[in-house]
Amino acid sequence: MFRTNMRVCVLLLVIFLLNALPLQMVIAATPQLSEAPLIAKKPKESNVKPLHKIIDEQIQSEYKDQTNSVSTISSDGEFLRRVYLDLTGRTPSITQTREFLNDSRTDKRAILVDQLLASAEYARYTSQQLDVMLMRRLRKKYINVSTWEEYLRKSVADNKPLDQIVREIFASDGSNKETQAAARFYLARAGDVNELTRDIGKIFLGADLTCAQCHDHPDVNEWKQDHYYGISAFLIRSFVFTDKKKKQTVFAEKAEGEVKFESVFEVRDKTSKGAETTLPVVFNGPKISEPAFKKGEEYQVKPAKDVRPIPKYSRRAQLGVAITAPQNRRFARTMANRLWAMMLGRGIVHPLDADHSDNPPSHPQLLEILTDQMISHQFDLKWYLREIVLSETYQRSSANDLFTKKSSGKLDDSRFTHAIMKPLTPEQFSWAVLQATGYADIHRKSLKNKLTEESLRKRLLGYEKRFVTLFGGLPGKPVEGFETTADQILYLSNDGGIQGLVMPSSGNTADRVLKVPVDQPDKIAEELYLSVLNRHPDQTETEEVAKLLQGKAGVERSQMVSDLVWALVMSSEFRFNH
Amino acid sequence: MRCDYACGTHEGLSRRSFIGGASAGALSMLGFNGMTEVQASKKLASQQKQVVVFWLSGGVSQLETWDPKPGTETGGPFLSIPTSAPGVQISELLPHTAQQMHHLALVRGINTKENDHGKGGYIMQTGRKKQPGFAFPYLGSTFSSHLSSPDSPLPGYISVGAGGSSSESTFLGPRHAPLVLSGGRAPSNLELHKSMQPDRDQMRRKLRNKISRRFEQKRKTAHTEVYNESFDQAAALMSKRDVFDFSKFSDKDVERYGKHDFGRHCLMARQLIEKGVTFVKVGHTNYDTHSENFNFHIEQLGEFDKPFATFISDLYDRGLLEHTLIICMCEFGRTPRINSRIGRDHWGTAWSVALGGTGIKGGAVSGKTNETGTKVIDREVNGGHLFHTYYQAVGLDSTEEFYPNGQPIAKADPKAEPIKEILV
């Protein structure tokens, strides 16, 4: 009752304000009104301190002697570019840049954040980030990549709780058309028990248990071989089965099969007491006991040639529930930490899959709070990202006087005293290039009333794919950190596809710059810098542009403008999200 | 899957330190790899040692090449023939190579105990068994890092018709990852775009640099430095693009090497070695002869023999063999037992590779298999021994260690040693 009433009030308010508010804001507000059952419940707004305030208190209380060396809050331009890239995967257009920089409202950052979080681009880009996390850019195997991508995109668009997405992924065996896409997690890994065990540990539990496959982890005391095989045990009975009649491949399961393991060290030293086994268990949680069946009665559908067996009891069905169970704090903690790293450029536990007592978090108490809140807010992805980007911690500048001095070693990334510069992801890089050069705007314009996130993306997908191939690392081994190779730079420097973007063409950035009257050098520099770097040029930069164009006309002038666009797009300021 | 015991010893690395190593590698790209054995690499760079690997993908049969057993139940239909090395006989399918045997040495006692393509390929190219959680660099990357000059504009490891992936260099970083000339073509975009002129390009690159420097003044520059450097690196590579101009081979050379892909790839490799590329991998494929082993080997080796022999003799004539190591190898050999489809299957138990050139005693033979080739009966070696041998052949100390992220990693398996009898 309360909720319904509140909705009516909000709706009335919206209708009342329709004329007063810019249309965009109304649109931004509407998705929160839908009653879709999957949407994470909005927490009751009370006088509880919002998470972004708590984040700042926690981070600031640890600055200690560095209080004087903390970076200032980012400029509007810096914030605008950063939050666009992080939440929508692209840079803002020149119009959006101008609007934001000229907006004098004191809460304009929060307003922008809500607009971006409601956009179709947010769902697309965030789902791509989750995709890389879950699938390591693995190639297609059995399940269509595009249906999987659409499943993730839709899940993010609906703001489906993260734990629910994970349960759906673990529950899908690929046989049901509606949930088939989610089976890509298992099937692209060919159902390999070791690969799945390793990835489940790394992605969802913050633990790379690879070394614990053959013996207790040699460097991490608390990671035992039992932990590895506890997870393997959920999957040991599963196998990839192709139904030749239906022409469908699924992740099937048998009713029998146990994990067996013994330490290779003990085998070597002849101290092994023989192979051990374990029931399915997630870390130190409860072992999942299973019902006993009479011999011959274990199956709903018995195994036979070309027949997919169906056991009465499925071990694998317990996996998603066990991983996401509230008692298993490792899951919420790992999700909180991974999303934090996505926004801040570094985990509170870092590396993200080395969460153990010899590698303590930089801010233990904060990580506990984030974990608690992740659970109490029912894994609400949008709420969590919103709180992070509203924090001062996220909004600090990447610039700091200390970096000018040789003593810059003093500023430790793990203190979050400054924004860590993040290399653009291949997706961000491609869309930022298309936006900065004005090519995306040409297509937005030509699509007219058919313009949607989807229709625009269809037109520009070739670029995104090319960038992913060149900058994304290998299938199964996506780039971590920053890498640069000769073929990337040769592409950016000499490829016709890039050169075509920086040369003037009706409506693109070079063209718009050339249309600014020659006798207004300030305006020319401004058009360039606002388009490409989303900020105003400073005095030196304005003078530099004026000098470069001085006395140039015709082809010479147009070439110089193209070269300026190229130089700005290829600058380190552009290559990183700073 | 078993992991190597070594993963708990001093060789072992946790994933965590590996990540550290990998990112240090990324940073070290483009010549910043100052930390490890600078002096050794300088010394050797001045001696210009180079390496060529012929990779016979699928697993060539040792019985149809380096260790024939004519007249036995496993020997198959082919005879063995004398070679230019006194007392050394090889299969009659390699008549041209037989004439170069005085430049080559054979290792006939290999037992890698591995019959899987992926794992066998890993052992032969890293000198170790695959072990979870840690990745050793492939030999192309290893020798690129040891032998190429840090300021060389050329990539240290180029693969011609042999595939390759940027993950091969592991902790040595992207600087030593293979440049793969896919389809035997030069890399794309080595030339300026047709609308661009050299002076204009130089101007805009300078401008790019200037704009970047302004931004970096008050910022952490570890990554931006690497990014900026890579533009210079790309420009240097463009200035050397004649290395990749494969359009100027004489008709006579094309005739001598053969008009097929492998012949052309050998010619390309000759050019790359002449132009100073440190490591070249040339691929020849289709040796996975589970059926029709003999017909396939007539066909494949018929294509392989002449260009391979011509390559060796050309390198010798040009004085390049003196400082170039040649390795001809694959994932494993093939079963002595002939299966019902007249095929031979995977066989890591008793097989051979051929080495030649710098540091190698021409005409030497190490190891021996029994009469039917089912067992090594003298001087059994594995991938570790071979790695020690490669290192020693180019004058490097194989008992040294890498230090990714400060932790010692033995360069070659400490449980093995070089095959001294084939070394000069």
Of A418, A488, A568, the CB nearest to B211: A568
Amino acid A523: pLDDT: 97
CA distance A372 to B136: 40
Arithmetic mean of pLDDT, A99-119: 98
89-148 in chain B: CB under 8 A from chain A:
132-133
At A255, which amino acid appears? A
Q: Does B374 touch chain A (CB under 8 A)?
A: no
Q: Which residues pair with B128 in a beta bridge?
A: none
pLDDT band (50, 70, 90) for residue A89: very high
At B21, which amino acid appears? G
Instruction: Flag if A211 and B133 touch (Cβ within 8 Å).
Output: yes
Q: Which of A330, A326, A340 is nearest to A55 (CA)?
A: A340
Q: Does B232 touch chain A (CB under 8 A)?
A: no
> What tokens were used for A430?
């491609």
The domain limits of chain A are 1-35, 192-324, 426-577
User: Higher confidence at residue B121 or residue A28?
Assistant: B121
Q: Which of A146, A103, A149, A147 is nearest to A126 (CA)?
A: A149
Q: How far are the Cα atoms of A274, B4, B132, B269, B413 from residue B1, in angstroms, in the given order?
A: 17, 10, 9, 37, 20
Arithmetic mean of pLDDT, B253-278: 96
pLDDT in tens, A390-407: 999 999 999 998 888 755
pLDDT band (50, 70, 90) for residue B173: confident
Minimum CA–CA partner of B208 in chain A: A567
Of A566, A568, A572, the CB nearest to B227: A572
Chain A to chain B, count of Cβ pairs less than 8 Å apart?
A: 186
Instruction: Tell me, yes or no, whether B352 lies in a domain.
Output: yes
Instruction: Flag if B22 and A481 touch (Cβ within 8 Å).
Output: yes
pLDDT band (50, 70, 90) for residue A201: very high
CATH assignment at residue B292: 3.40.720
> What tokens were used for A294?
């009479």
Q: Does B234 touch chain A (CB under 8 A)?
A: yes
| pLDDT of residue A43 exceeding 80 | no
pLDDT in tens, A300-335: 999 999 999 999 999 999 999 999 999 999 999 999
User: What is the nearest CA distance from B77 to chain A, expressed in angstroms?
Assistant: 41
User: What is the nearest CA distance from B169 to chain A, expressed in angstroms?
Assistant: 13
Q: What percent of chain A has pLDDT above 70? A: 91
Do residues A533 and A75 lie in contact, with contact meaning Cβ atoms separated by under 8 Å?
no
pLDDT band (50, 70, 90) for residue B71: very high
Arithmetic mean of pLDDT, A271-282: 94
Instruction: Flag if B214 and A540 touch (Cβ within 8 Å).
Output: yes
| pLDDT of residue A13 exceeding 50 | no
Arithmetic mean of pLDDT, A433-439: 98
| pLDDT of residue A369 exceeding 70 | yes
Amino acid A214: pLDDT: 80
| pLDDT of residue B104 exceeding 90 | yes
pLDDT in tens, A471-518: 998 788 788 888 787 789 999 999 999 999 999 999 999 999 999 999
User: What is the nearest CA distance from A496 to chain B, expressed in angstroms?
Assistant: 6
Instruction: Tell me, yes or no, whether B97 lies in a domain.
Output: yes
Instruction: Tell me, yes or no, whether B108 lies in a domain.
Output: yes
Instruction: Flag if B15 and A211 touch (Cβ within 8 Å).
Output: yes
For residue B155, which residues of chain A lie inside 8 Å, CB to CB?
A: 486
Residue of A570, A575, A577, A578 to mutate, interface with B, max B Cβ within 10 Å? A570
Q: Which of A459-468, A534-543, B152-161, B369-378 has the lowest mean pLDDT?
A: B152-161
Q: Does B155 touch chain A (CB under 8 A)?
A: yes
Q: Does A265 touch chain B (CB under 8 A)?
A: yes
Q: Does A485 touch chain B (CB under 8 A)?
A: yes
CA distance A150 to A124: 9
Do residues B376 and B407 lie in contact, with contact meaning Cβ atoms separated by under 8 Å?
no
Q: Does A578 touch chain B (CB under 8 A)?
A: yes
Q: Does B15 touch chain A (CB under 8 A)?
A: yes
Instruction: Tell me, yes or no, whether B37 lies in a domain.
Output: yes
Do residues A454 and A146 lie in contact, with contact meaning Cβ atoms separated by under 8 Å?
no
Amino acid B226: pLDDT: 82
400-419 in chain B: CB under 8 A from chain A:
none
Instruction: Flag if A211 and B216 touch (Cβ within 8 Å).
Output: no
For residue A487, which residues of chain B lie inside 8 Å, CB to CB?
A: 187-189
* SS3 state of residue A433: helix
pLDDT in tens, B313-354: 999 999 999 999 999 999 999 999 999 889 999 999 999 999
Q: Which of A19-33, A221-235, A452-466, B362-376 has the lowest mean pLDDT?
A: A19-33
Residue of A196, A490, A495 to mutate, interface with B, max B Cβ within 10 Å? A490
Do residues B299 and B334 lie in contact, with contact meaning Cβ atoms separated by under 8 Å?
no
DSSP summary character for residue A176: S
* SS3 state of residue A238: strand
Please provide the average confidence, as pLDDT, over all residues in chain B: 87
Residue of A493, A498, A532, A574 to mutate, interface with B, max B Cβ within 10 Å? A493
Do residues A264 and A215 lie in contact, with contact meaning Cβ atoms separated by under 8 Å?
yes
CA distance B352 to B329: 8
Instruction: Tell me, yes or no, whether B62 lies in a domain.
Output: yes
Domain count, chain B: 1
pLDDT band (50, 70, 90) for residue B25: very low
Listed in order, strand segments (DSSP E) in A122-172 are none
Minimum CA–CA partner of B177 in chain A: A485
Instruction: Flag if B188 and A399 touch (Cβ within 8 Å).
Output: no
Q: Which of A65-69, A447-451, B138-142 has the lowest mean pLDDT?
A: A65-69
Q: Does A190 touch chain B (CB under 8 A)?
A: no
Instruction: Tell me, yes or no, whether B225 lies in a domain.
Output: no
pLDDT band (50, 70, 90) for residue A564: very high
Arithmetic mean of pLDDT, A77-100: 98
pLDDT band (50, 70, 90) for residue A41: low
For residue B1, which residues of chain A lie inside 8 Å, CB to CB?
A: 194, 213
Instruction: Flag if A485 and B224 touch (Cβ within 8 Å).
Output: no
Q: What is the CA radius of gyration of chain A?
A: 27
For residue B129, which residues of chain A lie inside 8 Å, CB to CB?
A: none
Instruction: Tell me, yes or no, whether B192 lies in a domain.
Output: no
| pLDDT of residue B234 exceeding 70 | yes
For residue A265, which residues of chain B lie inside 8 Å, CB to CB?
A: 5, 8
Listed in order, strand segments (DSSP E) in A398-522 are 422-423, 473-474, 477-478
Q: Does B10 touch chain A (CB under 8 A)?
A: no
Q: Is residue B251 classed exposed, middle or buried when 0-12, 13-18 and 19+ CB atoms within 10 A define those classes?
A: exposed
Q: Which of B186, B232, B205 is nearest to B29 (CA)?
A: B232
Minimum CA–CA partner of B155 in chain A: A486
Query: Which range marks the domain in which residue B20 is found?
Result: 5-186+278-422
CA distance B182 to A19: 61
Q: What percent of chain B has pLDDT above 90? A: 71
Do residues A330 and A350 lie in contact, with contact meaning Cβ atoms separated by under 8 Å?
no
| pLDDT of residue B85 exceeding 50 | yes
Residue of B3, B180, B193 to mutate, interface with A, max A Cβ within 10 Å? B193
Arithmetic mean of pLDDT, A239-252: 94
For residue B201, which residues of chain A lie inside 8 Å, CB to CB?
A: 493
Q: Does A322 touch chain B (CB under 8 A)?
A: no
Please provide the average confidence, as pLDDT, over all residues in chain A: 91
Instruction: Flag if B1 and A488 touch (Cβ within 8 Å).
Output: no
Of B2, B220, B228, the CB nearest to A403: B220
10 Å Cβ neighbour count for B198? 11
Amino acid A437: pLDDT: 98
User: What is the nearest CA distance from B221 to chain A, expressed in angstroms?
Assistant: 8
